[in-house]
Structure 1
Amino acid sequence: MTESTPYPYKYSDGSRRREIVEDLRSLADFLESHPELPTPRHVDVMVFPRHEAPADADAVAEVRRIAAQLGVRLNERSGHYTATHMIGHVSYRVISATSPPAQGGA
Protein backbone atom coordinates (compact mmCIF):
# COMPACT_ATOMS: atom_id res chain seq x y z
CA MET A 1 0.00 0.00 0.00
CA THR A 2 1.35 3.44 -0.90
CA GLU A 3 1.23 6.25 1.63
CA SER A 4 -0.72 9.16 0.20
CA THR A 5 0.96 12.49 -0.37
CA PRO A 6 -0.14 14.85 2.42
CA TYR A 7 0.06 17.92 0.17
CA PRO A 8 -1.09 18.32 -3.43
CA TYR A 9 2.39 18.08 -4.94
CA LYS A 10 2.50 17.56 -8.67
CA TYR A 11 4.34 14.48 -9.86
CA SER A 12 3.98 12.32 -12.93
CA ASP A 13 1.34 9.68 -12.36
CA GLY A 14 -0.55 7.06 -14.28
CA SER A 15 0.42 6.79 -17.93
CA ARG A 16 2.89 9.70 -17.74
CA ARG A 17 4.83 7.93 -14.97
CA ARG A 18 4.89 4.69 -17.00
CA GLU A 19 6.15 6.62 -20.05
CA ILE A 20 9.00 8.17 -18.08
CA VAL A 21 10.07 4.80 -16.67
CA GLU A 22 9.90 3.26 -20.17
CA ASP A 23 11.89 6.20 -21.59
CA LEU A 24 14.62 5.67 -18.98
CA ARG A 25 14.84 2.00 -19.97
CA SER A 26 14.93 2.99 -23.65
CA LEU A 27 17.75 5.44 -22.99
CA ALA A 28 19.76 2.69 -21.25
CA ASP A 29 19.12 0.32 -24.19
CA PHE A 30 20.11 3.06 -26.67
CA LEU A 31 23.38 3.77 -24.87
CA GLU A 32 24.15 0.08 -24.59
CA SER A 33 23.59 -0.42 -28.34
CA HIS A 34 25.79 2.59 -29.22
CA PRO A 35 29.09 1.99 -27.39
CA GLU A 36 30.77 4.64 -29.56
CA LEU A 37 28.77 7.36 -27.80
CA PRO A 38 30.19 8.89 -24.63
CA THR A 39 28.32 8.50 -21.37
CA PRO A 40 28.59 10.61 -18.24
CA ARG A 41 30.53 9.41 -15.21
CA HIS A 42 27.41 9.86 -13.07
CA VAL A 43 23.69 10.30 -13.72
CA ASP A 44 21.49 12.28 -11.34
CA VAL A 45 17.71 12.03 -11.70
CA MET A 46 16.32 14.98 -9.75
CA VAL A 47 12.76 15.43 -8.50
CA PHE A 48 11.65 18.82 -7.21
CA PRO A 49 8.37 18.77 -5.27
CA ARG A 50 6.08 21.29 -6.97
CA HIS A 51 3.10 22.89 -5.34
CA GLU A 52 1.17 26.10 -5.50
CA ALA A 53 3.44 28.24 -3.26
CA PRO A 54 4.16 25.67 -0.53
CA ALA A 55 5.39 26.76 2.86
CA ASP A 56 9.03 25.85 3.44
CA ALA A 57 8.03 23.52 6.29
CA ASP A 58 5.61 21.67 3.98
CA ALA A 59 8.27 21.22 1.29
CA VAL A 60 10.78 19.91 3.84
CA ALA A 61 8.13 17.55 5.22
CA GLU A 62 7.57 16.21 1.69
CA VAL A 63 11.28 15.50 1.20
CA ARG A 64 11.38 13.91 4.68
CA ARG A 65 8.39 11.70 3.74
CA ILE A 66 10.11 10.54 0.55
CA ALA A 67 13.38 9.95 2.42
CA ALA A 68 11.48 7.60 4.75
CA GLN A 69 9.99 5.76 1.74
CA LEU A 70 13.49 5.41 0.27
CA GLY A 71 14.95 4.33 3.60
CA VAL A 72 17.57 7.09 3.48
CA ARG A 73 18.53 10.07 5.64
CA LEU A 74 17.22 13.55 5.03
CA ASN A 75 20.24 15.75 4.35
CA GLU A 76 20.34 19.52 4.85
CA ARG A 77 23.00 21.91 3.65
CA SER A 78 22.57 25.66 3.37
CA GLY A 79 18.78 25.44 3.17
CA HIS A 80 18.76 22.64 0.58
CA TYR A 81 17.04 19.46 1.74
CA THR A 82 17.73 16.26 -0.14
CA ALA A 83 16.94 12.56 -0.04
CA THR A 84 19.12 10.43 -2.30
CA HIS A 85 18.92 6.79 -3.37
CA MET A 86 22.04 5.53 -5.17
CA ILE A 87 22.13 2.66 -7.67
CA GLY A 88 25.77 2.35 -8.67
CA HIS A 89 26.63 5.53 -10.58
CA VAL A 90 23.00 6.64 -10.83
CA SER A 91 21.17 8.62 -8.18
CA TYR A 92 17.51 9.40 -7.62
CA ARG A 93 17.48 12.68 -5.69
CA VAL A 94 14.55 14.61 -4.24
CA ILE A 95 15.41 18.24 -3.55
CA SER A 96 13.75 21.20 -1.88
CA ALA A 97 15.38 24.57 -1.29
CA THR A 98 13.95 26.74 1.44
CA SER A 99 13.65 30.50 1.19
CA PRO A 100 16.64 32.44 2.52
CA PRO A 101 15.98 34.29 5.78
CA ALA A 102 14.75 37.86 5.37
CA GLN A 103 17.48 40.49 5.60
CA GLY A 104 17.24 43.34 8.10
CA GLY A 105 15.45 46.46 6.86
CA ALA A 106 17.31 49.35 5.29
Structure 2
Amino acid sequence: MSKPNDAERRAQTIAALRDFADRVEIDPTIPTPTDVDIRVHLHSTRGTQAQRFAAVFDFAEQHGAPVTENPRGHRKTTKRFGPIDLTVLAFADKQNTAFGVVTRADDPALTAA
Protein backbone atom coordinates (compact mmCIF):
# COMPACT_ATOMS: atom_id res chain seq x y z
CA MET A 1 0.00 0.00 0.00
CA SER A 2 1.46 3.36 -1.00
CA LYS A 3 1.62 6.42 1.23
CA PRO A 4 -1.14 8.96 0.53
CA ASN A 5 -0.13 12.17 -1.19
CA ASP A 6 -0.91 15.60 0.28
CA ALA A 7 -4.32 15.90 -1.42
CA GLU A 8 -5.30 12.45 -0.15
CA ARG A 9 -4.13 13.25 3.40
CA ARG A 10 -6.07 16.53 3.29
CA ALA A 11 -9.22 14.70 2.15
CA GLN A 12 -8.78 12.10 4.92
CA THR A 13 -8.39 14.84 7.53
CA ILE A 14 -11.46 16.71 6.31
CA ALA A 15 -13.51 13.50 6.37
CA ALA A 16 -12.32 12.71 9.91
CA LEU A 17 -13.18 16.22 11.14
CA ARG A 18 -16.67 15.95 9.63
CA ASP A 19 -17.13 12.53 11.20
CA PHE A 20 -16.01 13.90 14.57
CA ALA A 21 -18.41 16.86 14.31
CA ASP A 22 -21.29 14.55 13.38
CA ARG A 23 -20.53 12.26 16.33
CA VAL A 24 -20.38 15.17 18.78
CA GLU A 25 -23.71 16.38 17.41
CA ILE A 26 -25.58 13.05 17.72
CA ASP A 27 -23.86 11.25 20.61
CA PRO A 28 -24.79 12.73 24.01
CA THR A 29 -22.19 10.53 25.73
CA ILE A 30 -19.43 12.65 24.17
CA PRO A 31 -18.86 15.58 26.52
CA THR A 32 -19.26 18.97 24.90
CA PRO A 33 -15.79 20.04 23.75
CA THR A 34 -14.74 23.32 25.33
CA ASP A 35 -11.24 23.39 23.89
CA VAL A 36 -9.97 21.44 20.91
CA ASP A 37 -6.28 21.47 20.01
CA ILE A 38 -5.26 20.57 16.48
CA ARG A 39 -1.57 20.49 15.62
CA VAL A 40 0.02 20.35 12.21
CA HIS A 41 3.64 19.20 12.47
CA LEU A 42 5.92 19.96 9.55
CA HIS A 43 8.83 17.53 9.88
CA SER A 44 11.93 17.29 7.69
CA THR A 45 10.00 14.95 5.38
CA ARG A 46 7.83 17.95 4.44
CA GLY A 47 10.34 19.92 2.38
CA THR A 48 13.37 21.98 3.28
CA GLN A 49 13.62 23.94 6.51
CA ALA A 50 13.00 27.16 4.56
CA GLN A 51 9.87 25.67 2.94
CA ARG A 52 8.55 24.51 6.31
CA PHE A 53 9.20 27.87 7.95
CA ALA A 54 7.66 29.71 4.99
CA ALA A 55 4.52 27.56 5.38
CA VAL A 56 4.24 28.70 9.01
CA PHE A 57 4.65 32.34 7.99
CA ASP A 58 2.13 31.96 5.13
CA PHE A 59 -0.48 30.62 7.55
CA ALA A 60 0.33 33.22 10.21
CA GLU A 61 0.15 36.14 7.77
CA GLN A 62 -3.13 34.88 6.30
CA HIS A 63 -4.67 34.70 9.78
CA GLY A 64 -3.00 37.61 11.57
CA ALA A 65 -1.14 35.43 14.05
CA PRO A 66 2.42 35.87 15.36
CA VAL A 67 5.19 33.38 14.72
CA THR A 68 7.40 32.34 17.59
CA GLU A 69 10.74 30.58 17.68
CA ASN A 70 11.36 28.19 20.55
CA PRO A 71 14.72 27.31 22.13
CA ARG A 72 15.19 24.45 19.64
CA GLY A 73 14.74 26.78 16.66
CA HIS A 74 11.30 25.49 15.65
CA ARG A 75 8.75 28.00 14.31
CA LYS A 76 5.17 27.95 15.56
CA THR A 77 1.94 29.87 15.09
CA THR A 78 -1.54 29.33 16.48
CA LYS A 79 -4.93 30.60 15.34
CA ARG A 80 -8.08 30.17 17.39
CA PHE A 81 -11.29 29.27 15.55
CA GLY A 82 -13.97 29.43 18.26
CA PRO A 83 -13.03 26.70 20.75
CA ILE A 84 -10.49 25.22 18.33
CA ASP A 85 -6.78 26.08 18.42
CA LEU A 86 -4.98 25.25 15.19
CA THR A 87 -1.21 25.21 15.70
CA VAL A 88 1.24 24.92 12.82
CA LEU A 89 4.70 23.85 13.98
CA ALA A 90 7.71 23.59 11.66
CA PHE A 91 10.70 21.70 12.98
CA ALA A 92 14.17 23.17 12.50
CA ASP A 93 16.95 21.12 10.92
CA LYS A 94 19.24 21.85 13.85
CA GLN A 95 18.80 23.35 17.28
CA ASN A 96 19.18 27.03 17.89
CA THR A 97 19.84 29.02 21.06
CA ALA A 98 17.55 32.00 20.34
CA PHE A 99 13.82 32.08 20.88
CA GLY A 100 10.86 34.48 20.91
CA VAL A 101 8.76 36.27 18.32
CA VAL A 102 10.29 36.26 14.86
CA THR A 103 9.18 37.94 11.63
CA ARG A 104 9.58 36.60 8.12
CA ALA A 105 11.91 39.48 7.17
CA ASP A 106 14.15 38.95 10.20
CA ASP A 107 14.19 35.15 10.20
CA PRO A 108 17.78 34.10 9.52
CA ALA A 109 16.68 30.64 8.40
CA LEU A 110 14.70 32.20 5.55
CA THR A 111 17.10 34.97 4.57
CA ALA A 112 19.86 32.39 4.14
CA ALA A 113 17.71 30.25 1.85
Q: TM-score, normalised by structure 1?
A: 0.63
Query: How large is the RMSD of aligned CA atoms in angstroms?
Result: 2.9
User: 1:73-101 CA distances to partner (integer Å, 9 max, x unpaired)?
Assistant: 21223223112121122111110232224
Q: Structure 1 counterpart of 2:18, which letter? A: R
Residue 38 (1) aligns with residue 37 (2): no
Verify the 8 A CA contact 2:56 2:77 in the aligned structure 1.
Answer: yes
Return closer, same or farther for 1:37/1:73 CA change in 2, 3 Å cut-off: same
CA distance in 2, matches of 1:53, 1:23: 22
- Residue 17 of structure 1 corresponds to 10
- Structure 2: where are the runs of 5+ without partners? 98-113
- Residue 7 of structure 1 corresponds to none
Q: Structure 1 counterpart of 2:95, which letter? A: P
Task: Describe how 1:10-89 pairs up with structure 2 within 5 A.
Answer: 12-13=6-7, 15-38=8-31, 41-52=34-45, 55-78=48-71, 79-89=73-83
Q: TM-score, normalised by structure 2?
A: 0.60
- Structure 1: where are the runs of 5+ without partners? 1-10
Tell me how far 1:17 sits from its aligned partner: 2.1
Q: Structure 2 counterpart of 1:27, which letter? A: F
State the identity as a percent: 29
Secondary structure in 2 matching 1:48: strand
